[in-house]
Amino acid sequence: MITKITTPVEVAAIISLLLIFMALVLTFIRMILGPSLPDKIVALDLIAMLVVGIIISYVALSKQIVYLNAIVLLALIAFLGTVAFARYLEKRIL
């Protein structure tokens, strides 16, 4: 549970959360309106990394390191998805 803001780290975490949410909205719009499939996949990968940033900022605010495993897992899944899509674009096979 987050109490009152007392340290500069907490202020920075809240500012980063706001900026990441703004980037998330813009990236989501790009994913919806993207002209091509690679644009949409890159936007989806960026959304996954922005979610990682949101979780990291929340960990800094709440001081609960239990979410770090979720961060690593989400980043790994996003990376593997991007690599698989790049391979598909290169060879056009699954």
Is residue 88 a contact partner of residue 94, using CB atoms and an 8 Å limit?
yes
Q: Is 85 inside a domain boundary? A: yes
Nearest CA to 16 out of 56, 44, 49 is that of 56
Predicted confidence at residue 17, as pLDDT, reads 96
> Which residues form the domain of 73?
9-91
Structure confidence by residue, pLDDT tens digits, 21-67: 999 999 999 999 989 888 988 999 999 999 999 999 999 888 888 88
pTM, whole model, 2 decimals? Answer: 0.85
Q: Is 57 inside a domain boundary? A: yes
Report the Cα–Cα distance between both ends of the chain, in Å, rounded: 44
Q: Is 3 inside a domain boundary? A: no
Q: Is 1 inside a domain boundary? A: no
Spatial distance between the Cα atoms of 59 and 16, rounded to a whole number of angstroms: 12
Predicted confidence at residue 94, as pLDDT, reads 59
Q: Burial level of 59, CB count in 10 A (0-12/13-18/19+)?
A: middle
Q: Is 46 inside a domain boundary? A: yes
Q: Is 26 inside a domain boundary? A: yes
Q: Is 56 inside a domain boundary? A: yes
Domain count, the chain: 1
Q: Is 50 inside a domain boundary? A: yes
